[in-house]
Amino acid sequence: MHIVIMGCGRVGSSLARSLEKRGHSVAVIDADADSFRRLGPDFQGTTVKGVGFDRDVLLQARITEADGFAAVSSGDNSNIIAARVVREEFNVTNVMARIYDQGRAEVYERLGIPTVATVRWASNQALRALLPVGSEPVWQDPTGTVRLAIMPHHVSWVGSTVADITRATGSAVPFIVRFGAGFIPTSKTVVQDADQLYLAIESDRVDDVETVLDEPPAQH
């Protein structure tokens, strides 16, 4: 895959190195040529000085060959403009933008541009570390209607199947983490001790699902 990144700060440079280590072709755009030093001496990708919404700059970065575009500069406006230009003028569908303003992030998510809201992400990570498992979602849609959450369960659920949990909670179990490794279960998968159950839940049903799983299955 060829990925174009706008912004060579800490996030952009780290993303570029990670992609290259995975064998992908990478082009990095930044208005400050000195920022490319963050990529290190071993970086083999392309660096282009300029702004990521300039057509000529994007062409130098081989945007017409790109499988993905990430706008991760320090400016919200620049990131959104670049993401829209790449998507609308160059027909690259796999785009994302880093956004500091949470309100803007939600607006652009609804327009179909995936965003990473830096402050919201950091805050949510802290909340998940501080609060009980299940209190904060691992993921939720931009409207907050549906969430993916790690749900604790009563020890008596060990030995039950995923189908049992789905029937009892009315929620899907898209994956389980067992001994540190995730996998996609079938309806016949049996819950084992210390499994982490990830459930897809409507946000207004979280309390109900927690109540069900907090009690032994025989009561339901």
pLDDT at residue number 214:
87
Task: Find the helix or strand (DSSP H, E) in which 178 lies.
Answer: strand 172-178
pLDDT at residue number 220:
47
Residues of the chain with pLDDT under 70: 101-136, 219-220
105, 87 contact by CB (below 8 A): no
Q: Which domains does the chain have, with CATH numbers?
A: 2-123 (3.40.50.720), 134-219 (3.30.70.1450)
pLDDT at residue number 14:
86
Question: pLDDT digits over 184-216, tens only?
Answer: 999 999 999 889 899 999 988 988 998 899 899
pLDDT at residue number 112:
64
- Order the strands of the 68-71 sheet from edge to edge: 46-49, 25-30, 2-6, 68-71, 95-99, 115-117
pLDDT at residue number 161:
96
Q: How distant, in Å, are the alpha carbons of 26, 41, 104, 136, 179 from that of 35?
A: 16, 13, 27, 36, 40
pLDDT at residue number 100:
74
